[in-house]
């Protein structure tokens, strides 16, 4: 519980979303500088480099493109920092997935530079947040860093997002779905949000978290169907905004609880490493229903949505056997080596968390049998 009644709200300076917006990147960047450093996902580097260089070739601005080499670790952060200084760039653009984005954030904050984020999927809500996750060179989680500033512009090209594998979009929906349930837990326990040292939530943060939930329930399934046929409709645009802007502002300004705690526990099991962040958070939502004894009308509505959307709701959906050993490993991490669960205003120990995991897994199996392929 906080000892102050001070509220705080944080956000990126500007959020822009629409079809073909990447083609305007030089127009947006020239307000800041005529020398722009692009850090691009290694997987997407050849395609995006060619497109960006073509855009800049029609102007007097200069672009420098560099491929991200993997983890958001201090050796890579330092390498990119030196390249940015060497090229005398005045703006950093991180284009790609979470690790590339977080490296760009870390470099920009260390140099006190402006920066843009250009996500290539709607898989997470990280782009608009003032948080970066740093790993070791070999991929083990090291720390989460609260940054001095969020992005100057988050630029979402809807056509680029729609071209990504639909699994990424679905995982982003799961991550966004957790936002409202976790916000309520933080509110009940008066736990701090993720702004600076941690403050009470502004009403705006809670309202945004709720809107994430409402839009998912209203447009989520329609957006998935539209993406499957390559149609970038208003429903798709609404869920891109939900996954990225609304969920990002929601989690930063309200905080996380059981769903993300369970994610951390699942990450202890090697068999989950090939699954996406949002996919693991999804099972954490189900655990939250069991842990918090959520009213069944809400459980029924959300579980039907998750199953019909193809979002994981059981341990087996994540390649995990529901053995006592695996459940203990998850619960041990959640209770003893991660603080997120303690935002829950409930009794927290190995037994209560293990019971929630067992109950959630059974709940998920029942709803899969009931709604799958209906």
3-state secondary structure string across 285-343: HHHHHHHHCCCHHHHHHHHHHHHHHCCCCCCHHHCCCCCHHHHHHHHHHHHHCCCHHHH
Angle of the 203-228 helix axis to the 234-241 helix axis, nearest 10 = 140
273 is catalytic: no
87 is catalytic: no
Tell me which of 162, 182, 217 is where a domain ends. Answer: 162
Tokens of 92: 């950093």
Specify whether 132 is located in the same domain as 24. Answer: yes
Question: Among 41, 152, 263, 317, which one carries the catalytic annotation?
Answer: 263
Tell me which of 162, 178, 212 is where a domain ends. Answer: 162
Tokens of 289: 């229903």
Helices (H) and strands (E) in the chain, counts: 14, 10
Question: Among 125, 157, 219, 260, which one carries the catalytic annotation?
Answer: 260
295 vs 322: CA distance, rounded Å: 25
pLDDT value at residue 138: 80
The Cβ of residue 142 has, within 10 Å, a number of other Cβ atoms equal to: 15
**Position 344 in a domain:** yes
- Say if residues 315 and 159 touch (Cβ distance below 8 Å): no
Q: What's 138's domain CATH number?
A: 3.40.50.1970
Question: Among 41, 102, 125, 277, which one carries the catalytic annotation?
Answer: 277
pTM: predicted TM-score of the whole model, two decimal places: 0.94
Tokens of 18: 């629409």
- Say if residues 15 and 154 touch (Cβ distance below 8 Å): yes
Dihedral sign for Cα atoms in the order 94, 100, 104, 105: positive
**Position 225 in a domain:** no
pLDDT value at residue 374: 58
Provide the residue range defining the domain that includes 122: 8-162
Q: What's 336's domain CATH number?
A: 1.20.1090.10
Q: Which residue has the tokens 């390498």?
A: 79
Tell me which of 162, 195, 225 is where a domain ends. Answer: 162
Per-residue pLDDT 10s for the chain (374 aa) are: 666 889 999 999 999 999 999 999 999 999 999 999 999 999 999 999 999 999 999 999 999 999 999 889 999 999 999 999 999 999 999 999 999 999 999 999 999 999 999 999 999 898 999 889 898 888 777 888 989 889 999 999 999 999 999 999 999 999 999 999 999 999 999 999 988 888 999 999 999 999 999 999 999 999 999 999 999 999 999 999 999 999 999 999 999 999 999 999 999 999 998 999 999 999 999 999 999 999 999 999 999 999 999 999 999 999 999 999 999 999 999 999 888 999 998 999 999 999 999 999 999 999 999 987 55
pLDDT value at residue 338: 86
Number of domains, the chain:
2
**Position 195 in a domain:** no
Question: Among 102, 125, 157, 175, which one carries the catalytic annotation?
Answer: 175
186 vs 205: CA distance, rounded Å: 12
For residue 30, the number of C-alpha atoms closer than 13 Å in the C-beta half-sphere is 11
pLDDT value at residue 373: 59
- Say if residues 334 and 327 touch (Cβ distance below 8 Å): no
DSSP, collapsed to helix, strand or coil, labels residue 15 as: strand
Q: What residues have CB less than 8 Å from 90, skipping those under 6 apart?
A: 32, 33, 34, 35, 36, 113, 114
């Amino acid at each position: 519980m906080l000892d102050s009644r001070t509220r705080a709200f944080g956000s990126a300076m500007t959020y822009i979303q629409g079809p073909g917006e990447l083609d305007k990147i030089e127009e947006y960047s020239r307000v800041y500088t005529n020398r722009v450093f692009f850090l691009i996902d290694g997987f997407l580097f050849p395609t995006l480099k060619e497109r960006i260089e073509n855009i800049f070739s029609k102007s007097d601005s200069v672009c420098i493109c560099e491929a991200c080499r993997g983890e958001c670790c201090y050796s890579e952060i330092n390498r990119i920092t030196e390249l940015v200084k060497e090229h005398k760039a005045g703006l950093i653009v991180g284009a790609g997935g979470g690790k590339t984005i977080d490296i760009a954030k870390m470099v920009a904050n260390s140099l006190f530079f402006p920066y843009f984020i250009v996500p290539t999927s709607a898989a997470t809500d990280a782009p608009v947040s003032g948080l970066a996750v740093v790993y070791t060179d070999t991929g083990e989680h090291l720390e989460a860093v609260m940054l001095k500033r969020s992005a100057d512009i988050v630029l979402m090209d809807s056509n680029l997002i729609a071209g990504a594998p639909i699994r990424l979009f679905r995982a982003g929906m799961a991550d966004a779905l957790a936002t409202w349930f976790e916000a309520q837990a933080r509110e009940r326990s008066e736990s701090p949000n993720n702004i600076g040292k941690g403050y009470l939530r502004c009403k705006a943060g809670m309202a945004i978290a709720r809107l994430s939930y409402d839009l998912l329930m209203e447009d989520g399934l329609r957006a998935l169907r539209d993406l499957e046929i390559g149609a970038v409709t208003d429903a798709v645009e609404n869920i891109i905004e939900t996954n990225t802007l609304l969920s990002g502002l929601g989690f930063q300004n309200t905080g996380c609880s059981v769903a993300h705690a369970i994610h951390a526990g699942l990450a202890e099991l090697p068999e989950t490493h090939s699954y996406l962040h949002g996919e693991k958070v999804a099972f954490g939502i189900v655990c939250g229903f069991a842990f918090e004894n959520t009213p069944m009308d809400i459980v029924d509505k959300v579980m039907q949505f998750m199953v019909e959307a193809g979002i994981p709701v059981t341990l087996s959906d994540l390649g995990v056997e529901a053995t006592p050993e695996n459940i203990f490993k998850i619960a041990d991490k959640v209770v003893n080596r991660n603080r997120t669960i303690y935002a829950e205003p409930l009794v927290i120990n190995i037994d209560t968390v293990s019971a929630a995991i067992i109950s959630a897994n059974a709940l998920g199996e029942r709803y899969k049998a009931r709604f799958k392929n209906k």
